[in-house]
Chain A
Amino acid sequence: MIALRRFLSGGWLRAYAFLYVVFLYLPVIFLPIFSVNTAATPKFPLTGFTLHWYQDLPRTPALLDAAWNSLIVGVSAAVLSTLLGILAARSITRYRYPGRSTIHGLIMAPLVLPEVIVAISMLLVMLQLGLSLSLFTVVLGHVLVCIPYSMTVLTSGFEGFDRSLEEASADLGESAFGTFRRVTLPMVAPAIISSLLVCFTISLDEFIIAFFLTGTEATLPIYIWGQLRFAAKLPGVLALGTLLLVASFLLMTVAEILRRRAAGRTQNEGGLYA
């Protein structure tokens, strides 16, 4: 034990931690670096700095269409899965009933199912139902993968919601709807917004399900996939990828801050400070 500790404290622990982070983020770092390089092929040494590839992005109609499609799908999927998530999370955190943990497990399961299998299954179902492939079918697919994330965020926001807060509101004369509006909603609002942001981000970045379930309309990841066939388009793809990366990172950060705030707020410490 002591030998191990000495071994680790001798700079080895730091080196390990450094390599760990490099392994996680090195591939991602290449994206922004090559996206501002003047050469059309991503390779070292770098030839010069340019924002040319970024300036080209808004002049590509197919890209703008894809961005618009992604926005529609992202917002719809976020709203739908958050709505469904609220109902399920409320039931899971508030009530005790037989099969509760099984149901919770089943809702969370899509998280670990192979996406390509889910995508194929959904495609089969959609075709059986006679639905023609469109952005609508993509939304349905995304709702399926978003719900587990939505649930995770919402249950952590709802957990520990002290029931006596709602009782106190009723006791002070407020109606059931008034209690929901004046107590429940303000307290869980950060968790709900957090869930919307997480779901939007997941949908924005999701490729496989969108690839299988969309008709002729491409979302951003599908557009990127299509562009990869043309070597000359690669820097533009890198620039777009960088923007997606930054957007996702920002959205997830805001979502996490809101989630923590919601989780902190619902804990009613009562007299623990006494």
Chain B
Amino acid sequence: MPEQPQILRPQSDRSMIEIKNVTRSYGAFKALDDASLTIREGEFFSLLGPSGCGKTTLLRMIAGFDNPTSGSISVGGQPMEGIPANRRPTNMVFQSYAIFPHLNVEQNVAYGLKRLKLQGGEEKRRVEEALAQVSLTGLGKRLATELSGGQRQRVALARALVMRPKVLLLDEPLSALDKKLREQMQVELRRLQQAVGITFVLVTHDQYEALAMSDRIAVMFGGRIAQVASPKEIYQRPVTRQVADFLGGMNFVKAQIVEEDGASLVVDTLGFGRIKTDKPKAFVRNGGGATLGIRPERLRVLWDNATAKFEVAGKVVERHYFGEITHLIVEIPGLEKPLSVTETNDFGADDIPVGTSIRLAYDPEALVAMAD
């Protein structure tokens, strides 16, 4: 038998960062409200949420620029209380990059090493190595003002990585870059993280960035952590409507609860009939009603006489063309809101006239119950 290629890097289960019941109040306002979280060793972890959700506050508390009002944070098993930023095993890539403008690239990268007083060219070697890691070899003598945005970002990365931290903190590092460069850096950051094996904690408000790069994501709203899971789990099985909405388009379908036990729900819907689904942890029974959700791309147009085991019939009321995909708005009898459907344009979904009656196939597994 040929050797199987190793696709998944084995994940360590050892915890690197422990956040326990952390609250940060500014007067009556709580920027962070009783947040608890475990970030594992060697994982790429993202804090995702809209601005003001507390993600940056949490990151700055891990770095030591801010302190919890209550609760505790430990890094690498060591409690961080009372330890200032300059003595923590973390390094940060700032949103503004914070490149020292009076120093050149090499001096920026060597800034933190100077204090360590390394012997025999070790400092120079480590700087070279860090610059090579971020593909900046040969630019060591450039001034910060002579660099492009992408290059400044790489300097910021090298300057943090050269310290060999236990945890690298990244505060919206890609938000200042244009779309193309951003996508390129997402791939590079992910590759870099795999190569160095350091725990990365990324703060972002961009759901695609979080989905593309992370091993796990914590979605935050209003100072609270709504869900912590893998990108796929977060996207496909959001536990609340808010999480579902933030991660992309979602069709919400009203349902009546028929049966409920600890782990699952059986519900009746008008359009989709009777569905059995996993019960989310945060689910609270709201009378006899529940909300189900299905992503637009999980609904498929059935052409001509094709049939599927599960299908709903409706009428196209709107069509929006987006190049590689077409967005169809389909009215289903009995559903209060029309369904949003995305179809790739390889079979002519972009030519379906408005007003056409069509049938849509779906997988009942794709319908998930959510807490409001």
Contacts and interface: CB of A to CB of B under 8 A. Distances in A.
B141 interface: no
B282 interface: no
Contacts of A271: 96-97, 149, 152-153, 175-177
A172 B102 contact: no
Given A265-B102, A268-B96, A268-B101, A172 B152 contact: no
Q: Which of B64, B95, B152, B159 has the most CB of A within 10 A?
A: B152
B178 A274 contact: yes
B174 to A, nearest CB: 9
B112 A270 contact: no
B303 interface: no
Nearest to B84: A170
Contact of B96 (A172, A266, A270): A270
Interface in B81-139: 84-87, 90-92, 94-102, 111-112, 115-116
A272 B149 contact: yes
A183 B107 CA distance: 12
A162 B98 contact: yes
B85 A170 contact: yes
Interface string A232-272: 00000000000000000000000000000000011011111
Given A272-B176, A273-B149, A168 B100 contact: yes
A171 to B, nearest CB: 5
B148 interface: yes
Contact of B181 (A175, A269, A270, A274): A274
Interface residues of A, number: 26
Contacts, number: 94
A186 B101 CA distance: 10
A171 B176 contact: no
A170 B84 CA distance: 9
A169 interface: yes
B94 A164 contact: yes
Query: Interface size bucket, B side?
Result: 35 or more
B96 A174 contact: no
A254 to B, nearest CB: 19
Interface in A162-203: 162, 164-165, 167-175, 178, 182-183, 186-187
A167 B148 contact: no
A164 B112 contact: no
Interface in B25-83: 63-65
A171 B63 contact: yes
B115 A178 contact: yes
Given A174-B112, A174-B115, A175-B86, A168 B98 contact: yes
B101 A265 contact: yes
Q: Which of A165, A169, A173 has the most CB of B within 10 A?
A: A173
A165 B178 CA distance: 23
Contact of A172 (B65, B112, B149): B112
Interface string B143-158: 0010111101100000
B98 A164 contact: yes
Contacts of B247: none
Contacts of B178: 274
Nearest to B90: A171
Interface of A: 162, 164-165, 167-175, 178, 182-183, 186-187, 265-266, 268-274
Interface of B: 63-65, 84-87, 90-92, 94-102, 111-112, 115-116, 145, 147-150, 152-153, 159-160, 163, 175-178, 181
